[in-house]
């Protein structure tokens, strides 16, 4: 079983090491292929996402990724394809997703008893569309007096992410899909998102569906989170709501994710490279370990994925080995080791 590995930056290498430790405790014969992206690729190839790495990610098909840092205002990445075409992306993370045609970030964010307070029973999957919206990065500046960005919504992309969300709901015994939008203010872009959602929802009479404005959704996640099951939304709203859900669970270190495409998938946590705690060995590894468990489930190892998830629940509810973000004093590797020991039985 071969997986690609993007080690990442900041807390990336620490979380990757912890996740490998837990995944290897399942005794599955896992082989990792290191694929340089970001600073490491810049050093080796002179480009943060060289076509060599894109090809390697496509070839291996399923990869685990640590977070990559993006310098504020300077993150643009230009990829040149073999046919000479030039593709400009607003950041390295956006570039990976779009070069590999990953169309949805599926983020199952759960609360944990003893950790998440009023949100202990939160169990929401946020489906964030990845290919368009304001994050396509089509911006321009008029001197330093004005700047403009284009928000793109296409029927094709919305139908694809909506179908994926309903199919996911069916496969995973989920009861409801909620479309989150702002069609009252953006009647054309978000209006089209909602229209396509309502059309697709008719094909899934067995799954309940409804919709919600994004501002009201933020309020409801905080106050009435049980009304959400699967949420499908555009790129930017999904980005913001998944961090909110992570915060409500108790830490961004509890929020996993999976970027899914037709030919390739990249599993990564919701959060970034956390430069404020990088290199200290104190980051919470649960987000990436849960992403790793989803990766095993994605390739058919349900039993092993379930065992990792159960072990995480056990370690968190026991409350003895917790990282600082959860009020404990354990290191990243101590927490990973406590989880790995349970996985190994
Ligand atoms: P961040 O998500 O890295 O950190 C926000 C806060 O959450 C920080 O206080 C951090 O210490 C904490 N945190 C995050 N993950 C944690 C973990 N596993 N355990 C404990 N605490 C954790 O967001 P920030 O600081 O805005 O971004 C830092 C860098 O990451 C930026 O360069 C940004 O562009 C990049 N980024 C990368 C992403 C990716 O690779 N997919 C996603 C989001 C941001």
Q: Do 303 and 278 sit in the same domain of this protein?
A: yes
- CA-to-CA separations, 191 to 75, 154, 220, 313, in angstroms, rounded: 30, 11, 21, 40
Residue 107 domain-assigned (yes or no): no
The Cα 96–Cα 89 span in angstroms is 9
Residue 52 burial by Cβ neighbours in a 10 Å radius (0-12, 13-18, 19+): middle
- With bands split at pLDDT 50, 70 and 90, how would you rate the model's confidence at 73? confident
Residue 258 domain-assigned (yes or no): no
The Cα 166–Cα 153 span in angstroms is 19
For ligand 1, atom 40: residue with the closest CA: 67
Q: Do 122 and 79 sit in the same domain of this protein?
A: no
Residue 41 has pLDDT above 90, yes or no: yes
286-298 vs 332-344: helix crossing angle, rounded to 10: 40
Report pLDDT digits (tens) over 238-269.
999 999 999 999 999 999 999 999 999 999 99
Closest ligand 1 atom number to CA of residue 284: 19
Residue 299 domain-assigned (yes or no): yes
What are φ and ψ of residue 34, in 5° steps? -70, 125
Residue 210 domain-assigned (yes or no): yes
CATH number at residue 83: 3.40.718.10
Closest ligand 1 atom number to CA of residue 243: 2
What is the chain's alpha carbon radius of gyration, rounded to the nearest angstrom? 20
Q: Do 159 and 245 sit in the same domain of this protein?
A: yes
Quick one: average pLDDT of 133-138? 93
Residue 71 domain-assigned (yes or no): yes
C-alpha closest to that of 132 among 155, 148, 164? 155
DSSP symbols for 252-282: GGG---EEEESS-EEEE-SS---TTTTTTT-
Where does a domain end: 202, 224, 249?
A: 249
Domain, as residue range, for 201: 116-249
> Is 132:152 a contact under the CB 8 Å cutoff?
yes
At 327, is the secondary structure helix, strand, or coil? coil
Q: Do 34 and 80 sit in the same domain of this protein?
A: yes
Residue 68 CB neighbours (<10 A): 26
Residue 105 CB neighbours (<10 A): 23
Ligand 1: centre distance to CA 71 (Å): 12
At 104, is the secondary structure helix, strand, or coil? strand
Q: Which residues line ligand 1 (CB under 6 A)?
A: 11, 67-70, 93, 251-253, 268, 271-277, 283-284, 287, 325
Q: Do 206 and 285 sit in the same domain of this protein?
A: no
- With bands split at pLDDT 50, 70 and 90, how would you rate the model's confidence at 74? confident
Q: Do 232 and 163 sit in the same domain of this protein?
A: yes
The neighbouring-strand residues paired with 318 are: none
Where does a domain end: 223, 249, 275?
A: 249
Q: Do 81 and 173 sit in the same domain of this protein?
A: no
Where does a domain end: 249, 284, 307?
A: 249
Domain count, the chain: 2
Closest ligand 1 atom number to CA of residue 15: 18
Q: Do 143 and 239 sit in the same domain of this protein?
A: yes
For ligand 1, atom 10: residue with the closest CA: 274
Q: Do 55 and 139 sit in the same domain of this protein?
A: no
The Cα 271–Cα 278 span in angstroms is 13
- DSSP-derived letter for residue 36 is -
- With bands split at pLDDT 50, 70 and 90, how would you rate the model's confidence at 126? very high
pTM: 0.96
Closest ligand 1 atom number to CA of residue 91: 34
The neighbouring-strand residues paired with 109 are: 124
The Cα 288–Cα 304 span in angstroms is 15
Ligand 1: centre distance to CA 126 (Å): 18
The Cα 244–Cα 222 span in angstroms is 8
Residue 259 domain-assigned (yes or no): no
Q: Do 34 and 93 sit in the same domain of this protein?
A: yes
Residue 163 burial by Cβ neighbours in a 10 Å radius (0-12, 13-18, 19+): middle
pLDDT of residue 255: 97
Residue 257 domain-assigned (yes or no): no
Report pLDDT digits (tens) over 145-198.
999 999 999 999 999 999 999 999 999 999 999 999 999 999 999 999 999 999
> And the tokens for 158?
């919305």
Residue 109 domain-assigned (yes or no): no
Q: Do 85 and 191 sit in the same domain of this protein?
A: no
Closest ligand 1 atom number to CA of residue 71: 32
Q: Do 73 and 164 sit in the same domain of this protein?
A: no
Choose one of 109, 235, 252 to mutate for the ligand 1 pocket test, by most ligand atoms within 8 angstroms of C-beta: 252
> Is 53:37 a contact under the CB 8 Å cutoff?
yes
At 224, is the secondary structure helix, strand, or coil? coil
DSSP symbols for 142-166: ETTTEEEE--B--HHHHHHHHHHHH
């Amino acid at each position: 079983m071969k997986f690609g590995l993007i080690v990442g930056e900041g807390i990336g290498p620490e979380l990757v090491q912890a996740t490998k430790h837990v995944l290897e405790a399942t005794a599955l014969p896992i082989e990792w292929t290191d694929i340089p992206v970001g600073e490491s690729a810049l050093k080796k190839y002179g480009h943060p996402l060289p076509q060599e790495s894109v090809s390697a990610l496509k070839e291996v098909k399923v990869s685990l990724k640590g977070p990559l840092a993006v310098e504020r205002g300077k993150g643009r990445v230009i990829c040149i394809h073999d046919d000479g075409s030039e593709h400009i992306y607003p950041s390295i993370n956006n570039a990976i997703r779009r070069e590999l045609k990953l169309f949805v970030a599926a983020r199952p964010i759960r609360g944990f008893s003893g950790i998440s307070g009023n949100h202990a029973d939160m169990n929401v999957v946020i489906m964030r569309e990845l290919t368009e919206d304001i994050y396509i990065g089509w911006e321009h500046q008029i001197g330093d007096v004005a700047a403009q960005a284009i928000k793109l919504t296409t029927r094709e992309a919305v139908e694809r992410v909506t179908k994926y969300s309903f199919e996911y709901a069916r496969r995973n015994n989920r009861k409801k899909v909620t479309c989150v939008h702002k069609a009252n203010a953006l009647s054309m872009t978000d209006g089209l998102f909602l229209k396509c959602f309502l059309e697709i929802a008719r094909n899934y009479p067995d799954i309940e569906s409804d919709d919600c404005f994004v501002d009201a959704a933020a309020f409801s996640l905080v106050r009435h989170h049980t009304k959400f099951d699967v949420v499908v939304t555009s790129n930017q709203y999904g980005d913001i709501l998944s961090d909110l859900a992570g915060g409500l669970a108790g830490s961004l270190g509890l929020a996993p994710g999976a970027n899914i495409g037709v030919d390739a998938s990249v599993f990564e946590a919701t959060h970034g490279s956390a430069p404020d705690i990088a290199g200290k060995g104190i980051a919470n590894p649960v987000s990436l370990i849960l992403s790793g468990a989803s990766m095993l489930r994605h390739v058919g190892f349900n039993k092993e994925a379930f065992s990792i998830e159960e072990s995480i629940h056990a370690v968190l509810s026991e409350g003895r080995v917790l990282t600082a973000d959860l009020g404990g004093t354990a290191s990243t590797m101590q927490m990973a080791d406590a989880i790995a020991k349970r996985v190994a039985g």
